[in-house]
Amino acid sequence: MKIAIVGAGLSGSNVLKTILTHPNFQENDQIDVFEPLEKLGPGFPYAPDDESIMLNNSVTYLSVDLRNPMDFVEWLEQKYGSYENTEGLVSRQRYGQYLSEHFEPYYAHPQVTAMHEEVVDMEVNGKQYRLKTQDGWLDTLYDVVYFAIGHQPYKDYYKLDGTKNYVQNPYPASKNLNQFSNEQRIGVIGTGTTSVDMMRYFTQHYDLKHPLTYYDRDMGFYFPAVPYTGGPYNFSFSDDWIDIQKEKHDSFIPFEIILETLRADLQLEGVDIREVYETYKENDLNAKIKAVESKDQKLALTQAYISRLGHFLPSLFQAMSPVNRAHYLSSYYPKLIFFRSLVPNKSFKRLADLYKNGKIRVVFGITDIETQADGTFLVKADQTETVDVLVNATGFETNLEKAGERSELIRNLYKKGLIMPQANGQFVLVDWPRSRVMNEQYGVMDGVYMLGSHIRGIQHENNDAKIITQQAVKVATWMMDELVLAEQV
């Protein structure tokens, strides 16, 4: 059997490890891994970069050894001793180093060939697949192809890519953000997770004469995490709970059952989630500062509960009927993000201090950006103003056609109909939970898998390392298990 893994980041590396350690892996099997980056294991998000670029998750959550949840912590203690920075976090670069070392033995396996090439196309040849790199079509026919190609490109809302003094993708920050001067007026488009990295980088490496200014439509920074200091709490969700409810309700779990289970768990702890949301829902920086200073434990427990729920969100989402999914996405998903997408506690305190001291500012109501003859930008918002430099922090492009403008592979697969959108032109359609690519011509493609952020429309909220790791392991395990079943037929 010949297997191709396109991408040697977190997903691809976990697929490789799972296949190599599976009892069905044979001496004549061959795995080719395609990765344009020099380092194997980290992928782009955890590639070498400035130490100011942080992981926003607890280190206890990031082990890639599913048998040892403390593997990353133990590695950090061995390598660095006292490893957390003043925000209580660890840099992405160190996590990338951990991934490189963890997966190194698997890339060194004699039946694995790593090629530092970019795959740009695929064609179907009967029940096998041929890949094209930037150097041309390969002669090898593969029985199985895993697309583990990582994040989509960044959005470009205002069509500025290629413009002087505009940074479309801020990473690696050590390369893309190091050429400015302290006298320039620097703006950041967006206030999501990437924007917090921009705060860290610019305040650490520059002494800006003008406030670092964030431009956003209406959201503002994510809510701060409030540490939960209480004991164990009631939590009903589990894989068994999902299976029982699906059987009880004839495959689809009514959304009301999911919602009432969540509410009932929290009510047993004296928390009304609706009351908590109403208290803090307004986009007000002062309310966020007050929540951190008061250490509100009802809010803290709600955040801890929703964070724990994240592990089950993909399965819960697929267990809803299509009508219920649409209702959840329109009416409840924004509330879930409110409690789940958080700025780390100490990071928010740092943001708040910089805001109070006039080192950063936020301008809302952005509608358009115009380039001017002198190379500056006119930002039209509640306050229309001119800036010298703009850094894009708007998030990833989920529309396949637009993503194809920056990814030759996505463009070619989409034009051929080998991948198709999950809904509304967005994400890649796969079957759940196997992650096999689906299209109109071939239906379910038994030997072609897609992993990572491109399938977020199906694997709902798969935006953390643990969920990505678990899915890659499951998908590769299913594929290897089925080899025995195929032989028995």
In this predicted structure, what is the pLDDT of residue 486?
55
Whether the pLDDT of residue 325 is over 60: the answer is yes
Count Cβ neighbours within 10 Å for each residue of 88-124 and write b for 16 or more, e otherwise: ebbbbbbbbbbbbebbeebbeeeebebbebbbbbbee
3-state helix, strand, coil in the chain (%, to 5): 40, 20, 45
What number is the average pLDDT over the span 157-162? 94
In this predicted structure, what is the pLDDT of residue 489?
43
Extract the tokens encoding 73.
Answer: 């912590």
Mention every residue, 6+ apart, whose C-beta is less than 8 A from residue 307: 340
Extract the tokens encoding 245.
Answer: 């409810």
In this predicted structure, what is the pLDDT of residue 218?
82
Residue from 231, 127, 192 nearest 341 by CA? 192
* 233-267 pLDDT tens trace: 999 999 999 999 999 999 999 999 999 999 999 99
* 396-440 pLDDT tens trace: 999 999 999 989 999 999 999 999 999 999 999 999 999 999 999
Phi, psi dihedrals of residue 385, rounded to the nearest 5° = -155, 170
In this predicted structure, what is the pLDDT of residue 81?
87
Consecutive H or E run containing 309? helix 297-309
**Amino acid identity, residue 228?**
Y
Consecutive H or E run containing 371? strand 368-371
Residue from 96, 58, 18 nearest 466 by CA? 58
Extract the tokens encoding 155.
Answer: 């959005």
Q: Which of 50-59, 281-290, 311-320 has the highest mean pLDDT?
A: 311-320
What number is the average pLDDT over the span 352-379? 95
Cα(263)–Cα(176) distance, integer angstroms: 45
**Amino acid identity, residue 221?**
F
Average pLDDT, the chain: 94
In this predicted structure, what is the pLDDT of residue 466?
87
Q: Which residue did the predictor score with more confidence, 290 or 443? A: 443
Residue 153 pLDDT class (50, 70, 90 cuts): confident
Percent of the chain with pLDDT over 90: 86
Long-range contact pairs involving 237-242 (C-beta distance under 8 Å, separation at least 24)? 237/261, 237/262, 237/309, 237/312, 237/316, 238/312, 239/312, 239/315, 242/312, 242/315, 242/316, 242/319
* 217-234 pLDDT tens trace: 987 899 999 999 999 999
In this predicted structure, what is the pLDDT of residue 483?
77
* 72-131 pLDDT tens trace: 999 999 999 877 777 888 999 999 999 999 999 999 999 999 999 999 999 999 999 999
What number is the average pLDDT over the span 24-36? 97
